[in-house]
Structure 1
Amino acid sequence: MLSLRYTSPMMVGRLDMTALTRKFNLVVVCGARGPRPRYPRVWKSQKRIGTISKSQKLVDCVKGLSNVKEEVYGALDSFIAWELEFPLVVVKKALKTLETEKEWKRIIQVIKWMLNKGQGKTMGSYYTLLNALAEDGRLEEAEELWMKIFSEYLESLPRVFFMKMISLYYSRGMHEKMFEVFADMEELGVRPDGSIVRILGDVFLKLGMLDKYEKLNKKYPPPTWEYRYIKGKRIRIRVNTTKKIRE
Structure 2
Amino acid sequence: MVKKAGKEEHHLWKKRDSAGSGQKALNLVRIVSGLPNEKEAVYGALDKWTAWEAEFPLIATSKALRILGKRKHWIRVIQVAKWMLSKGQGMTMGTFDILLLAFDMDRRVEEAESLWNMILHTHTRSISKRLFSRMISLYCHHDLPDKIIEVFADMEELGVKPDEDTVRKVAHAFQKLGEEEKQKLVLKKYLTRWKYIHLKGERVRVKRDPWDE
Q: Distance in 2 between matches of 1:99 and 1:173?
A: 23
Does structure 2 conserve the Cα–Cα contact (< 8 Å) formed by 1:224 and 1:239?
yes
Q: Distance in 2 between matches of 1:82 and 1:204?
A: 53
Q: How many residues align?
A: 192
2:165 is aligned to 195
Does structure 1 conserve the Cα–Cα contact (< 8 Å) formed by 2:28 and 2:64?
yes
TM superposition score normalised by structure 2: 0.80
Deviation at 1:242, TM superposition (A): 4.0
* Corresponding position: 1:75 with 2:45: yes
Q: 1:157 to 1:139 in 2, by over 3 A?
A: same
2:143 is aligned to 173
2:6 is aligned to none
2:72 is aligned to 102
Deviation at 1:205, TM superposition (A): 3.8
Structure whose alpha-carbon radius of gyration is higher: 1
| Secondary structure of the corresponding residue to residue 155 of structure 1 | helix
1:86 is aligned to 56
Does structure 2 conserve the Cα–Cα contact (< 8 Å) formed by 1:225 and 1:237?
no
Q: Distance in 2 between matches of 1:239 and 1:142?
A: 39
1:33 is aligned to none
- Taking the TM superposition and a 5 Å limit, the aligned residue runs for 1:142-153 are 142-153=112-123
Does structure 2 conserve the Cα–Cα contact (< 8 Å) formed by 1:104 and 1:133?
yes
Q: Which residue, out of 16, 36, 40, partners 1:66?
A: 36
Instruction: Supply the RMSD in Å over aligned alpha carbons.
Output: 2.5
Q: 1:73 to 1:207 in 2, by over 3 A?
A: closer
| Secondary structure of the corresponding residue to residue 222 of structure 1 | coil
Q: Which residue, out of 133, 139, 147, partners 1:163?
A: 133
Q: Which protein, 1 or 2, shows the higher relative CO under an 8 Å CA cutoff with sep ≥ 6?
A: 2
* Corresponding position: 1:141 with 2:107: no
Deviation at 1:51, TM superposition (A): 1.9
Gap runs ≥5 in structure 1: 1-48, 229-235
Gap runs ≥5 in structure 2: 1-18
Deviation at 1:117, TM superposition (A): 1.4
- Taking the TM superposition and a 5 Å limit, the aligned residue runs for 1:1-247 are 50-222=20-192, 224=194, 237-243=203-209
Q: 1:110 to 1:223 in 2, by over 3 A?
A: farther
| Secondary structure of the corresponding residue to residue 127 of structure 2 | coil
| Secondary structure of the corresponding residue to residue 82 of structure 1 | coil
